[in-house]
Structure 1
């Protein structure tokens, strides 16, 4: 299976200029200005007029569904393959949320493996919102070390009424266990942190890194664009050496209540001098977007969309003052680096052949290649999920 992309403007995400990209099976073999191959086994893709960028890495997707805050009928549906591929997403990381009873870790692992068999790369976290953590083996370290798809734990909830209200000591122990599991397995061992809208914000994370030997880089807090105050707390977390993630799925009510659109939040952070390597966006796809009243009662519910990640990236890329390579990094190389997915998020020889071709003017998706397979062509689906109509 040999594919040759001809004449694309390549962003790796570092801009490389007009180049050809040679793919053999699931890897990039070569990127250079002129590659010539002959033979019927070579599929040639015309990349002229397009930018070629790495496939998007979505670090938080509820691939088996989420929700349930309003009762059983409010459990959200699982993600389908083309929800990712049509949005240029070639790598997803699945997680459990509030519900770790009817949504289970075995199901999460099975769904991740199913998505892999259908053509994209899929990983997952052990645990959920609550501590003590739900695990497969009885140990966070063992889950990360022994289960191939598991790369960390999350999303552990802080500053949220739905969380288990963990102490710094409890959270430090979780981080230490995940760190050791990551070290022994060569994985990230990251602790994905769901940050709620309570006033304590990221205080607990600062307490952990100030009183233990756990570095800030072990934590990966998300939903940092809930409001300007939390965004400024995120800036301080980056100054302490950490990473922050903005959520792209939103609704009008969230925005009216002070949430900052993800692209706008990233642009603000870049303007403050935060490096793009510390900034990411994720979709929170297929999660519930619950609206609560002052007493914590559910009054509204929508569903997160994986597509929102590409839409937010497109907005960011067109934002004045934001370099295109920085915008690309935020959804490719930055999350891949945080998660220590070494062959993801970049275009280079030896890396996984996850490539998105976008029209150079509109930045609309034209083609998507995942692990060397042509999944989307001319914005039309070539490969569907097993049970997609």
Structure 2
């Protein structure tokens, strides 16, 4: 029954109400991307290549029966975490202002297939298959009420902010994520009975290959793990010497911060970094510690950028006293506010138990806007992680067995 009902679902059904993508051209700089991220409500900015493509590389879409070959293609996405990890590199630390002048392609993930174009008439099963093959975002043309005249005006209007128009190939686009598909499946969860009631342990979807770092280790040693967790849409667990989960360094939280977190990663321990990026902004004692250690490391360029950011966010900008400057903070901490609910003793992460049901874990992840949930025992020892991708495998196998 599930197959017969879901077989008629097409991707355009999931695009209803989705906002149009904000975008930048591939020719933009990292500074352009940084400005776009600061001024966007989304955590990601899509990157487009609108050069003439050969026919073999063009993107074909069918919208409203109008089949056409695209000359613009979304080639990737960037977020604040990409910028932060880039600024943590040795050369960038010495001269962050110079580093930001590099092309945005320098921070585009090098993993092929993370972003894929898909026709609106494609089936839900096609979308799930692409995600299981490694795709994170499906780029889909959407119908809008914008008139042809308005489209031409937007296409002709020059950009003064570094943003590219949201119109490409005559259409606006949105993208679908793992979360969008999980939300849709949750709305039809009754079709999959009794699977949703089974425990994640019984289903065998607890992944023990996790990224973790010791609480007292330098946060800088976690940069590669942070980049990997972003690519895998997971997180970096912070544990003690006995393997107890203390918290996490989450790309979902870092994406809500600003670029000055690179200075904190360079100078603080993993435990201190957790406190620094926690919702509400960094404590003033950690801000002073970051400044002092930047001086010790002779990272004058990073220190200057860090102080300038603090100054610009200060409400008492007339004061020249460095100690009166308020801590750097992002205006987008609202997304990370979900982490203010402490789910377990001594852990600042979203967690579940091996015997938790699949549907309960789905609801947990969706409620906290993350793509994963940590799995712990009663003593808070870390067992593994459950991801949206593992959940989708369960539903896909079920649909395949019924087909």
TM-score (norm 1): 0.24
> Larger % of strand: which?
1
> Larger % of helix: which?
2
